[in-house]
Amino acid sequence: MIEGVIFMLGLGIVCAAILTAASRIFYVYEDPRIAQVEACFAGANCGGCGYAGCSAAAVAVVAGEADPSVCIVGGPESATKAAEVMGVEVGLAEPPKSFNTCSGGLRAADKFVYLGVNTCRAQAAMSGGQRQCAVGCIGLGDCVDACQFNAIKMGREGYPVVDEEKCADLSGRNRYPPVRRSDSRGRL
């Protein structure tokens, strides 16, 4: 009986030593400012900033890839707190806007007649869509469904019209619309 207790005690000490060594060898440093900046944000994980959630936005702010004012939902209060953590000034921040720079919808000529699934995404899979404009709107309204801010409506001519007052997204990370974009910032 005593041998069993001694064996289990020795096994426990060996396992503890292995786990201690592994935790030191495989330690991953995380900048403590990430948690502080994330606490400044609204915590909605809405993706309105263009990142996967508040944690990803905080990582981008600490890495210098985004401004402290990246949280659209948190507004100026969260921007001020995040800038304070980072030791920078807030500055003037304006959410990125989406602009349609090319003819699309019913204004663009057709390359072919499409009779498939009636979505922009499905049409884009067919040689970039039926419209001749390479960066223009296909005109079926996937962007209207995708906009979390209700800032896009389909216009009379079959292309989206953006309400710039409501628009707070499309910072280059949104995956809609599925057609090629005219520049790297994600503007339509």
Rounded distance between C-alpha atoms, residue 20 and residue 28, angstroms: 14
Average pLDDT over residues 12-32: 93
Polymer length in residues for the chain:
188
Q: Which helix (H) or strand (E) holds 152?
A: strand 152-154
Residue 177 has a pLDDT of 45
Given a cut of 70, is residue 45 above it in pLDDT? Answer: yes
> Can you tell me the distance from the alpha carbon of 107 to that of 103, in angstroms, rounded to the nearest whole number?
6
pTM of the entire predicted model: 0.44
Surface-to-core class of residue 38, CB atoms within 10 Å of its CB (0-12 exposed, 13-18 middle, 19+ buried): buried
pLDDT at 185 over 50: no
Structural domains for the chain = 32-86 (1.10.15), 96-188 (no CATH)
Rounded Cα distance between 70 and 76, Å, is 10
- On whether the CB atoms of residues 50 and 171 are closer than 8 A, the answer is yes
Indicate the residue type of 38: E
> Which token pair is 100?
């349609």
Q: 162 has which bridge partners?
A: 152
Closest CA to 131 of 149, 151, 155, 107: 107
Report pLDDT digits (tens) over 93-115.
555 555 555 555 566 677 788 78
pLDDT of residue 5: 94
